[in-house]
Copies of this chain bind each other. A is one copy, B any other.
Amino acid sequence: MAPAFGGAHVVVPLPFNPKSLNGISERLIVSHHENNYGGAVKNLNRVEQELSRINRETPPFVVAALRDKELTFRNSKTLHEAYFGNLGGDGRRAGAIETALTQAYETSARWEEHFRATGMGLGGGSGWVVLGLELDTGALRTTASGNHTQILATSIPLLVMVMYEHAYQMDFGAAAAKYLDAFFVNIQWEEVNRRLERAQRASAAWGGAAG
């Protein structure tokens, strides 16, 4: 099969000990990783195989339907990996990201207020909250999506928070605010700082304002 339809995506293991999170249970995080993330990878491979068979006879609405699912599973894979990758830390925000958030939002506490308010807006539903670096401008932006397909154009995710209920119902029921608290104390800010540095280099290479 052509590389564009590889259907050969693999599951990336959890980058931390699932027993080690503070207030998020091993049962939840393992189920989240195996079933929800793992399911997306499996479905991505299947949908790429379906897409490899598109030709002039395929009804256009079938193409559109498969494309929508491809985007769903491809982004779900990327965002879940970024989410697990920014967990497992001690929640202490420091370094370049603290400076950058302060410059963008006047205080980093004001950014956190925005990020939490955005998460609460998705409580009881589905979606993601992402702090991203926009390559075109080099700016930090906090965005929300109601499903896996919605993403800020030309952005790299620095900090990702799942708001699908599989991220918290098992441990917190409908108490999304408690999940947000638990998320914040487990953030791996060193990883966020590494992403920020790489994203700023990418923005400079692309020719965005961060360069």
Contacts and interface: CB of A to CB of B under 8 A. Distances in A.
Interface of A: 2-4, 27, 31-32, 34-36, 39, 43, 46-47, 50, 54-56, 58-75, 78-79, 103-106, 110-111, 113-114, 117-118, 120-126, 135-136, 139-147, 149-157, 164-166, 169-170, 173-174, 198-199, 201-207
B71 A121 contact: no
A184 B153 CA distance: 23
A74 B153 contact: yes
Given A135-B156, A201-B206, 6 more contacts: A46-B61, A54-B113, A54-B114, A64-B122, A68-B144, A151-B151
A70 B143 contact: yes
Q: For chain A, what secondary structure do more than half of its interface residues adopt (helix, strand, loop), or is it mixed?
A: helix
Nearest to A49: B59
Contacts of A204: 205
Contacts of A63: 117-118, 120-121
Contacts of A73: 61
Among all A-B residue pairs, the 7 with the closest Cβ atoms: A64-B121, A35-B174, A165-B165, A65-B65, A169-B169, A201-B205, A202-B206
Contact of A104 (B4, B68, B147, B155): B4
Contact of A165 (B111, B164, B202): B164
A141 B173 contact: no
B145 A104 contact: no
